[in-house]
Amino acid sequence: MSLTFTVALDQAKLAALMKQLEPAEWRRRASASVLESTLYLEREIARRMRKRTGAAAASVLGRRISALVGHVVSSLGYVSILEGGSRPHVIRPRRAKVLAFAGANGRVFARSVNHPGTKGYHAFRDGAASSVRAIESIIARHLGAA
């Protein structure tokens, strides 16, 4: 499972601006604003990711899909668990008869473990919420000066 955030410009709100500019100029400005906004959001989300190994932060990728749409995505399977957390669950071995892991007094062996669950880090949610004003100013800088 992957997480995706979308940055999209509302065509209804841009209708008046489209009348003020040539179509090619409007498309160029809109495209530049979506690209810059998407990359800003990518950096903000990656900055908020936990840096235990850095793989989750490195997996966050922003890209422009069209002139009016950009995506920020992470395709690592466990990023959705990092984002939203997990409920308590039982862990059982898949390929062996027992689980083996490091404990306080050395190596521990168990047939199953009751995992208490994890709290979500909400890097995508909080990164997007904190970026709204910055993204609005990026869009205004590209499109508002027409």
* Residue 16: burial class (beta carbons within 10 Å; 0-12, 13-18, 19+): exposed
End-to-end Cα separation, the chain, in angstroms: 41
Q: What is the mean pLDDT of residues 5-16?
A: 70
Q: What is the mean pLDDT of residues 36-63?
A: 91
Q: Is residue 71 pLDDT above 60, yes or no?
A: yes
- In three-state secondary structure terms, 132 is helix
Q: Is residue 23 pLDDT above 80, yes or no?
A: no
Q: Is residue 1 pLDDT above 50, yes or no?
A: no
- The two tokens of residue 37 are 């906004």
> Residue 146's pLDDT is what?
45
CA 29 to CA 40: how far, in whole Å? 16
> Residue 142's pLDDT is what?
86
Band (pLDDT 50/70/90 cuts) for residue 51 is confident
- By C-alpha distance, which of 123, 129, 93 is closest to 109? 93
Residue 122 has what DSSP assignment? -
Q: State pLDDT tens for residues 82-133.
A: 899 999 999 999 999 999 999 899 999 999 999 999 999 999 999 999 999 9
Residue 70 pairs with which residues in a beta bridge? 7, 64
> Residue 13's pLDDT is what?
66
Q: Is residue 42 pLDDT above 90, yes or no?
A: yes
CA 97 to CA 37: how far, in whole Å? 50
> Residue 144's pLDDT is what?
72
Q: Where are the alpha helices (DSSP H) in 23-122?
A: 23-48, 55-58, 79-84
Residue 118 pairs with which residues in a beta bridge? 86
CA 107 to CA 122: how far, in whole Å? 33
